[in-house]
Amino acid sequence: MSTRAVPVAVATPYDVHVGPGALGLAATVLAGRRRVAIVSQAAIADRYLDAVRSGLGECEVFLMGDGEEAKSLATVEHLCRGFAAWGLLRGDAVLALGGGVVGDTAGFAASVYYRGVDVVQAPTTLLAQVDAAIGGKTAVNIPEGKNLVGAFHQPIAVLADTSTLASLPDREYRGGLGEVAKYALLADPATEQGGINALLREHTGAVLARDPGILGDLVAHCAGMKAGVVAADPHERTGVRATLNLGHTLAHALETTGGYGLTHGEAVAIGLVFAGELTGACERVGLDTVDRYQALPASLGLPTAVPGGEALRAEDLLAVMRRDKKAAGGLTFVLPGPDGVTLVDDPPPAALAHAFAAVGVGG
Ligand code: GLY
């Protein structure tokens, strides 16, 4: 087993353990716990339960359904009732084993059960390892919107076992690269040495081929960036953490209005291209930055335009964007500019029209 620890310096600090075999650290990070409730999904539990359970004391598995529909208050109630029936107490813990759906739902259940029990996040997708499992955001969906009911509940540890990435379906792995591209664009390539941009540039083939030697570096770089942002603004109050939503305003609007067959990471990739074009049209950056926002997702095999986008109306997407959680009544985007990546309110309509056209929306 070869893992490294990436520290997250929040009020109660914890580590993201990255590398093959990290699931085997469950017994270490949960040492002394009387009981552990493992929340997972059937296919994931079949594959990884033995690794996570080895050395753990008394534990019980609580399965939930697949997909965004399972990320619901009904599932949270079901889980909490299961915890109570089994006798999970305040000093016990929950372990979330799976991708973002499991992490968000089990994390939220842990945040409210007994007014909060400790949770260990054990993410098994690239997207969850580089982003969702770190930083304590937990939430479920309601019919009115995604992630509208949730809580900040930092985990006591994150076990990012990179060997789980080998079995991900290709599209799911590539989707995770959409979030990786986001981190690369958030990093300043001029000052960053040996960081995520260098890794993606020099090892593109190995990243796409999921080379086990590269995956640890890739996840650790992204986890380190996320940890820094979360430590600076744990509750998304100062605007620092909101920069992690780079590319997400359009992505969420695409997901809310129908998905268009895109995974979350693919939608983020298109959102990054949109953000680059929008900020370029606002004359906040030069053409080199606009090109970079297009070239990086493309180099990772991600889409740069909305499939069938000519049938969409920009106005419908804008209506959804106005309801975005970080919008204060108008339109708010996370965009690069002269002072780095910041929140920008209400860009001019002509710049928006240009950006929509650049990602193929509206024909
Ligand atoms: N996924 C964005 C955040 O954790 O703030």
Boundary-marking domain end, from 148, 167, 186? 167
Domain boundary among 167, 191, 226: 167
Count: domains in the chain: 2
Indicate whether 253 and 159 sit together in one domain.
no
Tell me, yes or no, whether 64 lies in a domain. Answer: yes
Rounded percentage of the chain residues whose pLDDT exceeds 90: 88
* 288 burial via Cβ count (<10 Å: 0-12, 13-18, 19+): exposed
CA 32 to ligand 1 center in whole angstroms: 30
Residues 157 and 35 in one domain: yes
Residue 219 within a domain: no
Q: Is the pLDDT of residue 216 over 70?
A: yes
Q: What is the mean pLDDT of residues 200-229?
A: 96
Q: Which of 128, 134, 120 is nearest to 228 (CA)?
A: 134
pTM: 0.94
Tens of pLDDT along 69-102? 999 999 999 999 999 999 999 999 999 999 999 9
> 210-218: long-range contacts at Cβ-Cβ below 8 A with a sequence spacing of 24 or more?
210/165, 210/166, 210/173, 212/20, 212/162, 212/163, 212/166, 215/162, 215/165, 216/2, 216/4, 216/18, 216/19, 216/20, 216/162, 218/130, 218/180
Q: How far apart are CA 289 and CA 295, in angstroms?
A: 10
Q: Which pLDDT tens digit goes with each residue over 346-360? A: 999 999 999 999 999
Antiparallel, parallel or unpaired: β 118-123 and 93-98: parallel
Q: Is residue 320 part of a domain?
A: yes
> Which pLDDT belongs to residue 309?
92
Angle at 212 between CA 207 and CA 213, to 5 degrees: 85
Q: Strand pairing of 332-337 and 340-345?
A: antiparallel
Active site residue 237: no
Are 17 and 143 found together in one domain?
A: yes
Do 16 and 161 lie in one domain? The reply is yes
In a domain, 184, yes or no: no
Which letter does DSSP use for residue 241 in this model?
A: G
Task: Please give the C-alpha separations between residue 49 and each of 3, 4, 44, 91, in angstroms, as whole numbers.
Answer: 19, 22, 8, 22
Q: Pocket of ligand 1, candidates 104, 137, 138, 324: which has the most ligand atoms within 8 Å of its Cβ, to mutate?
A: 137
Single out the catalytic residue among 264, 266, 277, 284: 264
Q: Which of 133, 167, 201 is the last residue of a domain?
A: 167
E strand intervals along the chain: 4-8, 14-18, 35-40, 58-63, 93-98, 118-123, 137-142, 145-152, 157-160, 332-337, 340-345
For residue 241, give the ligand 1 atom closest to its CA.
5
- Asked if residue 224 belongs to a domain, the reply is no
Residues 160-173 pLDDT 10s: 999 999 999 999 99
Number of the ligand 1 atom closest to the C-alpha atom of 135? 4
15: β partners: 7
284 flagged as catalytic: no
Tell me, in angstroms, the distance from the centre of ligand 1 to residue 230's CA: 8
| Set 71, 182, 226, 284: catalytic member | 226
Instruction: Say what the alpha-carbon torsion angle 83, 86, 89, 92 is, to the nearest 10 degrees.
Output: -80
Atom of ligand 1 nearest to the CA of 226: 4
* Residues 9 and 156 occupy one common structural domain: yes
Query: Given ligand 1 and candidates 182, 244, 343, which is best to mutate, with the most ligand atoms within 8 Å of its CB?
Result: 244
Q: What are 332-346's pLDDT values in tens digits?
A: 999 999 999 999 999
Pair (11, 126) in one structural domain: yes
Whether residue 213 lies inside any domain: the answer is no
Residue 150 and residue 21 share a domain: yes
Q: Is 47 a catalytic residue?
A: no
Q: Based on the domain organization, do 267 and 154 belong to the same domain? A: no
Task: Give the per-residue pLDDT at 302.
Answer: 97
Query: Quick check: is 262 in a domain?
Result: yes
pLDDT of 328 > 70? The answer is no
Least confident of 100-109, 122-131, 323-332: 323-332
Residues 162, 39, single domain; the answer is yes
Let me know if residue 236 belongs to a domain. Answer: no
CATH of the domain at 106: 3.40.50.1970
Binding-site residues, ligand 1, Cβ < 6 A: 131, 135, 137, 241, 244
DSSP at 128? I
Question: Half-sphere exposure of 299 toward its Cβ, with a 13 Å CA cutoff?
Answer: 19
Query: Closest Cα to residue 163, out of 119, 203, 129?
Result: 129
My answer on whether 153 and 277 are in the same domain is no
CATH at 278: 1.20.1090.10
Q: Are residues 139 and 275 both part of a single domain?
A: no
Return the number of other C-beta atoms located less than 10 Å from residue 195's C-beta. Answer: 17
Q: What is the reported pLDDT for 144?
A: 78
* Same domain membership, residue 141 and residue 41: yes
Instruction: Quickly tell me which residue has 């990471």 as its tokens.
Output: 265
Residues spanned by the domain of 294? 246-358
